[in-house]
Amino acid sequence: MSTGTVEAWDAIIRVPEARFNYNKCALIIIDLQYMTASRQYGAFKKLSDLGHGDGAEYAISRIENTVVPNVARLCAAMRRRNLPVIYARCGSLRGDGSDQTRRHREQGLTISLEQKEAQILEGIAPQKGDIVLTKSGSGCFTSTNLNHILRNMGVADVILTGIWTNSCVETTSRDAGDLDYRQIIVEDCCAAITKDLHDHALTYLDKNWADVRSCNDVLKSLG
Protein backbone atom coordinates (compact mmCIF):
# COMPACT_ATOMS: atom_id res chain seq x y z
CA MET A 1 0.00 0.00 0.00
CA SER A 2 1.44 3.38 -0.99
CA THR A 3 2.16 6.14 1.53
CA GLY A 4 -0.57 8.28 0.00
CA THR A 5 -3.13 5.52 0.39
CA VAL A 6 -2.16 4.99 4.04
CA GLU A 7 -2.46 8.71 4.75
CA ALA A 8 -5.86 8.85 3.09
CA TRP A 9 -7.08 5.86 5.09
CA ASP A 10 -5.73 7.31 8.35
CA ALA A 11 -7.52 10.58 7.66
CA ILE A 12 -10.93 8.93 7.87
CA ILE A 13 -10.55 6.11 10.44
CA ARG A 14 -8.36 7.56 13.20
CA VAL A 15 -10.24 9.02 16.15
CA PRO A 16 -9.07 11.23 19.04
CA GLU A 17 -7.48 9.52 22.01
CA ALA A 18 -10.09 8.36 24.51
CA ARG A 19 -10.30 9.92 27.97
CA PHE A 20 -9.43 6.67 29.67
CA ASN A 21 -10.39 6.38 33.34
CA TYR A 22 -7.48 4.72 35.14
CA ASN A 23 -9.30 5.11 38.45
CA LYS A 24 -12.07 2.71 37.43
CA CYS A 25 -10.87 0.28 34.80
CA ALA A 26 -10.45 -3.48 34.43
CA LEU A 27 -7.50 -5.55 33.22
CA ILE A 28 -8.47 -8.30 30.76
CA ILE A 29 -5.95 -11.15 30.28
CA ILE A 30 -6.72 -13.36 27.30
CA ASP A 31 -5.69 -17.02 26.86
CA LEU A 32 -2.48 -16.98 28.89
CA GLN A 33 -3.04 -20.58 29.93
CA TYR A 34 -1.01 -23.77 29.64
CA MET A 35 -2.82 -24.97 26.51
CA THR A 36 -1.89 -21.93 24.44
CA ALA A 37 1.08 -20.27 26.15
CA SER A 38 3.43 -22.95 27.50
CA ARG A 39 6.23 -24.91 25.87
CA GLN A 40 5.35 -28.05 27.81
CA TYR A 41 1.66 -28.29 27.00
CA GLY A 42 -0.95 -27.86 24.29
CA ALA A 43 -0.24 -25.99 21.09
CA PHE A 44 3.48 -25.36 21.49
CA LYS A 45 4.23 -28.95 22.55
CA LYS A 46 2.23 -30.18 19.57
CA LEU A 47 4.19 -27.90 17.24
CA SER A 48 7.46 -29.16 18.68
CA ASP A 49 6.38 -32.79 18.35
CA LEU A 50 5.43 -32.13 14.71
CA GLY A 51 8.87 -30.66 13.99
CA HIS A 52 7.74 -27.01 13.87
CA GLY A 53 9.49 -25.88 17.03
CA ASP A 54 11.71 -23.40 15.21
CA GLY A 55 8.71 -21.77 13.55
CA ALA A 56 7.05 -21.30 16.94
CA GLU A 57 10.11 -19.97 18.76
CA TYR A 58 9.42 -16.27 18.19
CA ALA A 59 5.96 -16.50 19.73
CA ILE A 60 6.77 -18.63 22.77
CA SER A 61 9.91 -16.63 23.52
CA ARG A 62 7.94 -13.39 23.43
CA ILE A 63 5.30 -14.89 25.71
CA GLU A 64 7.90 -16.11 28.20
CA ASN A 65 10.28 -13.15 28.17
CA THR A 66 8.02 -10.17 27.49
CA VAL A 67 4.30 -10.83 27.80
CA VAL A 68 4.09 -12.81 31.05
CA PRO A 69 6.52 -10.61 33.04
CA ASN A 70 4.74 -7.45 31.93
CA VAL A 71 1.27 -8.85 32.60
CA ALA A 72 2.48 -9.79 36.10
CA ARG A 73 3.52 -6.16 36.64
CA LEU A 74 0.11 -4.93 35.51
CA CYS A 75 -1.68 -7.43 37.74
CA ALA A 76 0.26 -6.21 40.77
CA ALA A 77 -0.50 -2.57 39.98
CA MET A 78 -4.21 -3.27 39.51
CA ARG A 79 -4.48 -5.24 42.74
CA ARG A 80 -2.73 -2.51 44.71
CA ARG A 81 -5.51 -0.18 43.61
CA ASN A 82 -8.25 -2.79 44.15
CA LEU A 83 -9.14 -2.71 40.44
CA PRO A 84 -10.59 -5.80 38.70
CA VAL A 85 -8.27 -8.38 37.15
CA ILE A 86 -10.19 -10.63 34.76
CA TYR A 87 -8.85 -13.72 33.00
CA ALA A 88 -10.44 -15.31 29.94
CA ARG A 89 -9.39 -18.84 29.00
CA CYS A 90 -10.38 -21.36 26.36
CA GLY A 91 -12.09 -24.49 27.60
CA SER A 92 -15.26 -26.54 27.68
CA LEU A 93 -17.72 -26.03 30.51
CA ARG A 94 -19.22 -29.44 29.70
CA GLY A 95 -15.84 -31.07 29.15
CA ASP A 96 -16.70 -32.54 25.76
CA GLY A 97 -16.51 -29.38 23.62
CA SER A 98 -20.22 -29.38 22.79
CA ASP A 99 -20.55 -25.87 24.27
CA GLN A 100 -17.65 -24.53 22.16
CA THR A 101 -17.60 -23.28 18.58
CA ARG A 102 -16.96 -25.72 15.77
CA ARG A 103 -13.79 -23.80 14.95
CA HIS A 104 -12.41 -24.27 18.47
CA ARG A 105 -13.32 -27.96 18.48
CA GLU A 106 -11.57 -28.54 15.16
CA GLN A 107 -8.51 -26.60 16.33
CA GLY A 108 -8.15 -28.98 19.27
CA LEU A 109 -9.13 -26.46 21.93
CA THR A 110 -11.50 -28.88 23.66
CA ILE A 111 -10.32 -29.37 27.23
CA SER A 112 -12.15 -29.80 30.51
CA LEU A 113 -11.61 -27.17 33.18
CA GLU A 114 -9.89 -29.73 35.44
CA GLN A 115 -7.04 -30.28 32.99
CA LYS A 116 -3.66 -28.59 33.41
CA GLU A 117 -4.07 -27.00 29.99
CA ALA A 118 -7.07 -25.00 31.23
CA GLN A 119 -5.16 -23.39 34.09
CA ILE A 120 -3.67 -19.89 33.95
CA LEU A 121 0.13 -19.77 33.79
CA GLU A 122 1.72 -19.98 37.22
CA GLY A 123 3.59 -16.68 36.89
CA ILE A 124 0.34 -14.76 36.57
CA ALA A 125 -2.02 -17.08 38.46
CA PRO A 126 -5.31 -15.61 39.68
CA GLN A 127 -5.52 -14.39 43.26
CA LYS A 128 -8.43 -13.87 45.62
CA GLY A 129 -10.89 -11.39 44.12
CA ASP A 130 -9.80 -12.00 40.52
CA ILE A 131 -12.33 -13.30 37.98
CA VAL A 132 -11.73 -16.26 35.64
CA LEU A 133 -14.06 -16.63 32.65
CA THR A 134 -14.20 -19.59 30.27
CA LYS A 135 -14.52 -18.70 26.57
CA SER A 136 -16.49 -20.92 24.19
CA GLY A 137 -15.15 -18.94 21.21
CA SER A 138 -12.57 -16.30 20.36
CA GLY A 139 -14.02 -13.01 21.58
CA CYS A 140 -14.30 -12.36 25.31
CA PHE A 141 -17.49 -10.35 24.92
CA THR A 142 -19.35 -12.70 22.59
CA SER A 143 -18.44 -15.99 24.32
CA THR A 144 -18.55 -15.06 28.03
CA ASN A 145 -20.66 -12.82 30.29
CA LEU A 146 -17.84 -10.26 30.45
CA ASN A 147 -20.05 -7.39 29.35
CA HIS A 148 -22.61 -8.20 32.06
CA ILE A 149 -19.89 -8.33 34.74
CA LEU A 150 -18.27 -5.07 33.69
CA ARG A 151 -21.61 -3.25 33.55
CA ASN A 152 -22.48 -4.55 37.02
CA MET A 153 -19.20 -3.10 38.33
CA GLY A 154 -19.75 0.19 36.54
CA VAL A 155 -16.61 -0.28 34.44
CA ALA A 156 -16.47 1.32 30.99
CA ASP A 157 -12.68 1.28 30.49
CA VAL A 158 -10.69 -1.89 29.78
CA ILE A 159 -7.00 -2.74 29.42
CA LEU A 160 -6.50 -5.62 26.97
CA THR A 161 -3.59 -8.08 27.10
CA GLY A 162 -2.86 -11.64 25.99
CA ILE A 163 -2.79 -13.76 22.85
CA TRP A 164 -3.17 -13.70 19.95
CA THR A 165 -2.88 -10.03 19.07
CA ASN A 166 -4.47 -10.51 15.64
CA SER A 167 -7.09 -13.01 16.78
CA CYS A 168 -8.69 -13.15 20.23
CA VAL A 169 -7.27 -9.79 21.37
CA GLU A 170 -8.34 -8.07 18.16
CA THR A 171 -11.79 -9.70 18.23
CA THR A 172 -12.28 -8.60 21.84
CA SER A 173 -11.14 -5.07 20.98
CA ARG A 174 -13.56 -4.77 18.06
CA ASP A 175 -16.45 -6.03 20.18
CA ALA A 176 -15.47 -3.69 23.02
CA GLY A 177 -15.57 -0.79 20.59
CA ASP A 178 -19.03 -1.70 19.37
CA LEU A 179 -20.17 -1.89 23.00
CA ASP A 180 -18.67 1.59 23.53
CA TYR A 181 -15.93 0.66 25.97
CA ARG A 182 -12.88 2.88 26.11
CA GLN A 183 -9.88 0.63 25.74
CA ILE A 184 -6.14 0.37 25.83
CA ILE A 185 -4.18 -2.47 24.24
CA VAL A 186 -0.81 -3.00 25.91
CA GLU A 187 1.59 -3.70 23.05
CA ASP A 188 4.24 -5.53 25.06
CA CYS A 189 1.64 -7.57 26.93
CA CYS A 190 0.42 -9.18 23.69
CA ALA A 191 1.86 -11.60 21.15
CA ALA A 192 1.04 -13.07 17.75
CA ILE A 193 2.59 -16.01 15.92
CA THR A 194 4.84 -13.57 14.02
CA LYS A 195 5.97 -10.01 14.59
CA ASP A 196 4.39 -8.93 11.29
CA LEU A 197 0.96 -10.21 12.35
CA HIS A 198 1.32 -8.49 15.73
CA ASP A 199 2.40 -5.18 14.23
CA HIS A 200 -0.23 -5.20 11.49
CA ALA A 201 -3.06 -5.80 13.95
CA LEU A 202 -1.94 -3.03 16.30
CA THR A 203 -1.37 -0.56 13.46
CA TYR A 204 -4.99 -1.00 12.39
CA LEU A 205 -6.48 -1.03 15.90
CA ASP A 206 -4.59 1.99 17.26
CA LYS A 207 -6.67 5.20 17.28
CA ASN A 208 -9.44 3.23 15.61
CA TRP A 209 -10.77 0.74 18.13
CA ALA A 210 -8.27 1.32 20.92
CA ASP A 211 -5.25 3.30 22.05
CA VAL A 212 -2.07 1.23 21.95
CA ARG A 213 0.32 1.79 24.85
CA SER A 214 3.42 0.21 26.39
CA CYS A 215 3.34 -1.52 29.74
CA ASN A 216 5.51 1.20 31.27
CA ASP A 217 3.14 3.91 30.02
CA VAL A 218 0.14 2.15 31.53
CA LEU A 219 1.93 1.56 34.83
CA LYS A 220 2.84 5.24 34.99
CA SER A 221 -0.79 6.22 34.36
CA LEU A 222 -1.96 3.78 37.04
CA GLY A 223 0.40 5.51 39.45
In a domain, 108, yes or no: yes
pLDDT score at 2: 62
pLDDT score at 125: 97
- 193-200's contacts with Cβ under 8 Å and 24+ in sequence apart are 193/56, 193/58, 193/59, 193/164, 194/58, 194/59, 195/58, 197/164, 197/165, 197/166, 198/165, 198/166, 200/166
In a domain, 55, yes or no: yes
In a domain, 134, yes or no: yes
Reduce the DSSP state of residue 10 to 3 states and report it: helix
pLDDT score at 31: 98
In a domain, 61, yes or no: yes
pLDDT score at 14: 84
- Rounded to 5°, the CA angle 58-32-84 comes to 135
pLDDT score at 1: 55
Which CATH number characterizes residue 133's domain?
Answer: 3.40.50.850
Residues spanned by the domain of 165: 21-222
pTM score of the predicted model = 0.94
Average pLDDT, consecutive stretches of 10 residues, N- to C-terminus, the chain (223 residues):
70 84 98 97 93 94 98 98 98 93 90 96 97 96 98 98 98 98 98 97 96 98 94
In a domain, 7, yes or no: no
Total number of domains constituting the chain: 1
